[in-house]
A and B are shown apart, each in its own frame.
Chain A
Amino acid sequence: DTGVSQDPRHKITKRGQNVTFRCDPISEHNRLYWYRQTLGQGPEFLTYFQNEAQLEKSRLLSDRFSAERPKGSFSTLEIQRTEQGDSAMYLCASTTGTSGRADTQYFGPGTRLTVL
């Protein structure tokens, strides 16, 4: 059973640069979530996809952030003009969507972003 994978695991960039992260969910999962986790905090919801449709975005997702899920498979999260405050762990999770609020979200290992 292949779990959720994320690439890269670590990314160091300079302020002002653009970065893109990739998430590959569990193959039969049609729902995909992005979270951000900063030091000393729990993960915070960023955005949610059902298949290829982006159905919800958090207020945390500023205009510099964009997420896509073409063809309902993998997803990408892009941050433009990175700022030091973007430094965090970006987590991806997927679910089957069959149990609504009771769904178990399966998390990937995360991408740790450091903005210098």
Chain B
Amino acid sequence: AQSVTQLGSHVSVSEGALVLLRCNYSSSVPPYLFWYVQYPNQGLQLLLKYTSAATLVKGINGFEAEFKKSETSFHLTKPSAHMSDAAEYFCAVSDSGSGYSTLTFGKGTMLLVSP
């Protein structure tokens, strides 16, 4: 079975600083990996996904993530944090099914951005 580990339940950065949110996965098949963001009282919004094409994936709002098979990692980065980036971020792996996808999520990382 697939699993996802997100290191750090909370990450604090200053506005303008680098954002790094860590995600490690376990998968018995070549993984498809996703990063979602959740703002308070809202559903999840896709930031980016890795589907075995380019290992460096660019997403919305200036975020990107790099797939590293040797490290089983898919860390999310943004060069310069903005106050509006404060939210909870979830890494997920797509479970293998009969042609469909159920997602297994990590526990999430809350990003706090201070002025």
Contact = CB atoms under 8 A, between A and B. Distances in A.
B28 to A, nearest CB: 13
A41 B46 CA distance: 18
Interface residues of B, number: 30
Interface stretch (A44-52, A61-69, A77-85): A44-52
Contacts, number: 75
A1 to B, nearest CB: 14
Interface residues of A, number: 30
B9 A40 contact: yes
B108 A102 contact: no
A40 B105 CA distance: 12
Contact of A101 (B36, B45, B101): B101
A4 B100 contact: no
A108 B43 contact: yes
Contacts of B9: 40
Contacts of A109: 41-43
B100 A43 contact: no
B90 A42 contact: yes
A31 B101 CA distance: 10
B101 to A, nearest CB: 5
Nearest to B93: A101
Contact of B107 (A41, A101, A106): A41
A99 B46 CA distance: 16
B100 A55 contact: yes
Interface string B1-35: 00010000100000000000000000000001010
Interface string B46-74: 10010100000000000000000000000
Interface of B: 4, 9, 32, 34, 36, 41-46, 49, 51, 90, 92, 94-108
Sorted nearest first, the 3 A-B pairs with minimum C-beta distance are A42-B105, A107-B43, A102-B51
29 contacts: A31-B100, A40-B108, A41-B108, A42-B105, A42-B108, A43-B44, A43-B103, A43-B105, A45-B102, A50-B100, A56-B102, A91-B44, A93-B44, A95-B101, A99-B51, A100-B99, A101-B51, A101-B94, A101-B95, A101-B99, A102-B32, A102-B49, A102-B51, A104-B34, A104-B46, A105-B103, A107-B45, A109-B41, A110-B42
